[in-house]
Chains A and B, each alone.
Chain A
């Protein structure tokens, strides 16, 4: 079991002692982890790390030291801003943190100005319990129950390592849902690949499908739908989007806020390794030998079994009301979890980084802070509940380690500071809000792509039409043979759609339908749709169409659509043509939602999907969720045989 942060090391709120007290051994393996028990995150011998570590005092004393900020993706003015915020140059660890948090992926710096429309144009809704800005949107579906759902991308990792990329994509979105207090109950996977007959598709597709299945099946989450689309524009950049649906009692909604100075910060789940810190490795390039690149894989390997245990442990903690705040560790690892939880509460945090259980003892502070190791959650726990939290973790066989505590805002009303030490060395001292909320925001230049007029001029009406039965037959055969219209069973058979026993509709239906209350029959319907070719021709209407398609797919099951999520897959925001497409797509989705009267509750933006200078088709993927008061009333898409020889009647609605 893990020891608590010792009262002896608790300092006055808001101040940092010049000489931190001796850190305690903080990590002891849960029962059943003998491998680790013998080797608790052993600190390296002092001489080894002290020499290499860049501390706050050192940073203050060496203002002229050159830092590889450009290699980390920070612009000159962004780096200057960091120096201005800190009043000195950042330490290595701080630089790593800013580069992560101010990246496009975390800061939404190019998309923010557009995404505002989702809030501004959203119709008022009394169902919305948590909206954009939270880990996932939460909507009330009955007096007692709420659901949360969100779709996210894992495109680039899935191209590098299809199986693990897709698997950890599922793992990541599931933790988002878990962090809201929900039990994850289903997944969906909208996928885009290059040409079906391209040799690289033969590498990427089977790996991605096996990865989505491998992780989701092992977690016990039914897969209730998705998409498989082939187009050469995705050849060098497949899209792997993953959606997760969760259910929670309304009063179990969790917050991420690290409130309550004196509360303990607990890291729970897998140990931390050098996963996914490829980018940050430039920080060490000066101090490491040739082999350093090899030591820093940018690929993360998922452990769905660990995630399953993490889910059960978290749900037990929620039900026993043992946590004050909780946040999943996703792409930006501890950096994001520490800063977001503190920033959203306005508090500070004091972290003893050497307490983080490590897979590789030689890891350095900036690596620990940047690591994207999977299957971890950050908890904020009141001291009197800590024992019970650690017991629960132990029961489920996951690590739980007190790594720090919440500190008070400063007396002048300013938010608190995030203070991180590493074996008594002060390596981070920053205002958490500066990483989370004060990142750069850009109104990027936009221009309609020059070729759009030409594309639009080439109208579908001008295409030759089949004029005789033979030509018609040809056309039908060609369409049937198209991979985009072909049967998707090869994919869907690799996914468990039965587990949990609440799947009312799944493939090949238009929407997935899940029963969420066995007693009342209450259920939800979900569909995800997107059409990159349409969006390429007209991003505004193409996005509206994706929304309309998902909306219809939900409606035809008999469900009432109530909420929207989305994953916006685009090329580089630095390309004005792409930025225009993006802006149009967002405007289209916001307008469409206004017209249909349902809010966007969350989503994800994925930029830089391109091969060289060639972006993918703009591919907004839209998910719509609907409610069915009784899933027994769902309408499946096939004809239902009737007793007594009655026949169904067919009607065509619309024009």
Chain B
């Protein structure tokens, strides 16, 4: 049976089509979820895609967090549903308190789009088990508010528990504390990542195919989880 991976569209989501494409290329069935949905249509995992939900006018992700579909996702994630938040999705996960800390304005104050090297530091999550620990990957980063901040205790806890999933290598594109690019919750099913793996799944349109690993990981994870 093919896994069904939901991709949520909020008003202002932009990379939802790309996330769905990446799910498809990885061999799963993408299921489009609407922000107003009151149910998850039986999906096995969820991707919160990049974009500017509700214009991101107040704080990125602050308004999306209150969408009806988010209530379901928050509940289901507590039961182990794998959830990947990419860029705006990461911001939404932090605003929804599924992940600690916050994403703030890039330190240089500009939107920045570049191909970025990351080091995968935790392969124990639902979304990174296809990588090798310490593997360096190249995927695009593009954000205006991607600077990860948290208090020292939280940062130490993340490090101590191996919950820093990926770090920027060869230059930090936004000033994130401790070069953090991706983190996970204690259970490892919820991952937030600032760069865009869904834009590195085709040789023709991406800088590499390294992004695919996130989407194949969740399939591997789902096979291992009894339904």
Contacts and interface: CB of A to CB of B under 8 A. Distances in A.
A and B touch in the complex (CB under 8 A): yes
Interface of A: 210, 213-214, 217-220, 303-306, 308-309, 396-397, 492-504, 515, 518, 631-632
A309 B11 CA distance: 7
B21 A501 contact: yes
Given A218-B55, A304-B55, A498 B206 contact: yes
Q: Chain B: interface residue count, which band?
A: 20 to 34
A377 to B, nearest CB: 17
Contacts of B196: 498
Contacts of A503: 205
Contact of B12 (A308, A496, A500, A518): A308
B204 A515 contact: yes
B136 interface: no
B114 interface: yes
Given A218-B52, A515-B204, A494 B199 contact: no
B198 A501 contact: yes
Contacts of A504: 204-205
Interface string B21-65: 100000000000000000000000000001110111100000000
Given A308-B14, A498-B206, 13 more contacts: A210-B110, A210-B111, A218-B56, A220-B51, A304-B52, A493-B110, A493-B114, A496-B111, A498-B18, A498-B205, A499-B50, A501-B17, A504-B205
A228 to B, nearest CB: 15
Nearest to A312: B11
B198 to A, nearest CB: 7
Given A217-B111, A303-B55, A499 B15 contact: yes
Contacts of B198: 501
Contacts of A494: 110-113
A499 B112 CA distance: 13
23 contacts: A210-B111, A217-B142, A218-B52, A219-B14, A220-B15, A305-B56, A309-B12, A493-B110, A493-B111, A493-B112, A493-B113, A494-B111, A495-B113, A498-B18, A499-B18, A499-B50, A499-B142, A500-B14, A500-B17, A501-B198, A502-B205, A503-B205, A632-B204
Contacts of A501: 15, 17-18, 21, 198-199, 202, 205
Contacts of A306: 55
A220 B14 contact: yes
From B14, B113, B142, residue with most partner A Cβ within 10 Å: B113
Interface string B5-20: 0000001101101100
A219 B204 CA distance: 23
A568 B162 CA distance: 58
Contacts of B18: 498-501
Instruction: List 9 tightest A-B contacts by C-beta distance, closest first.
Output: A305-B55, A220-B14, A501-B18, A498-B199, A218-B52, A494-B111, A496-B142, A498-B140, A213-B111
Contacts of A515: 204-205
B111 to A, nearest CB: 5
A499 B18 CA distance: 8
A495 B112 CA distance: 7
A632 B203 CA distance: 10
Contacts of A497: 113
Contacts, number: 84
A276 to B, nearest CB: 21
- A397, A496, A498 interface centre (most CB from chain B within 10 Å): A498
Contacts of B204: 504, 515, 631-632
A165 to B, nearest CB: 18
- From B12, B51, B114, B202, residue with most partner A Cβ within 10 Å: B12
Given A220-B51, A305-B52, A305-B57, A499 B110 contact: no
Contacts of B17: 500-501
A494 B196 CA distance: 16
A500 B140 CA distance: 13
B109 to A, nearest CB: 9
Contacts of B114: 493
B79 to A, nearest CB: 30
Contact of A397 (B11, B15, B113, B140): B11
Nearest to B114: A493
Contact of A498 (B21, B51, B142, B144): B142
A137 to B, nearest CB: 26
Contacts of B113: 492-498
A169 B198 CA distance: 30
Contacts of A495: 111, 113
Q: A303, A499, A503, A632: which has the most chain B beta carbons within 10 Å?
A: A499
Contacts of B14: 219-220, 308, 499-500
A268 to B, nearest CB: 15
B197 to A, nearest CB: 11
A396 B54 CA distance: 11
A396 B11 contact: yes
Contacts of A518: 21
B18 to A, nearest CB: 4
A495 B140 CA distance: 12
A466 to B, nearest CB: 36
Contacts of A498: 18, 113, 140, 142, 196, 199, 205-206
Contacts of A210: 110-111
Contacts of B110: 210, 493-494
A306 B88 CA distance: 18
Residue with the greatest number of chain B CB neighbours at <10 A, chosen from A214, A306, A502, A631: A502
Interface string B79-90: 000000000000
A47 to B, nearest CB: 38
Contacts of B15: 220, 499, 501
Contacts of A218: 12, 52, 55-56
Contacts of B12: 218, 305, 308-309
